[in-house]
Structure 1
């Protein structure tokens, strides 16, 4: 006799496997956006703080 909870666990495992197979696209997108924001802030700080002080 099969246990109903083991069938639910099996379907949960299949769902997790499908998510993992899809790849980390969202995480890569968030990391890319965060990196772009940091680089933009660095350039803005450089242009509006460092360059005016050196002139």
Structure 2
């Protein structure tokens, strides 16, 4: 066990920064971009020019 107080542990976690939040945001953004590209390639392009 550690001899640090709960406040010291919280301060250490906050000092490390929101790495997990940035990771989740990055994965979510990558999924949205991938879905957009797939929609463009498999739905929009095959339709061709609409007159």
Q: Tell me the TM-score normalized by structure 1.
A: 0.74
- Matches for 1:1-55 after TM superposition, within 5 Å: 11-54=5-48
Q: Which has the larger radius of gyration?
A: 1
What is the count of residue pairs matched by the alignment?
46
- What is the alpha-carbon distance in structure 2 between the residues aligned to residue 46 and residue 33 of structure 1? 20
In structure 1, runs of 5+ residues without a counterpart are 1-9
**Alpha-carbon RMSD:** 1.5
Query: Runs in 1 of length 4+ with deviation above 3 angstroms?
Result: none
Q: Tell me the TM-score normalized by structure 2.
A: 0.79
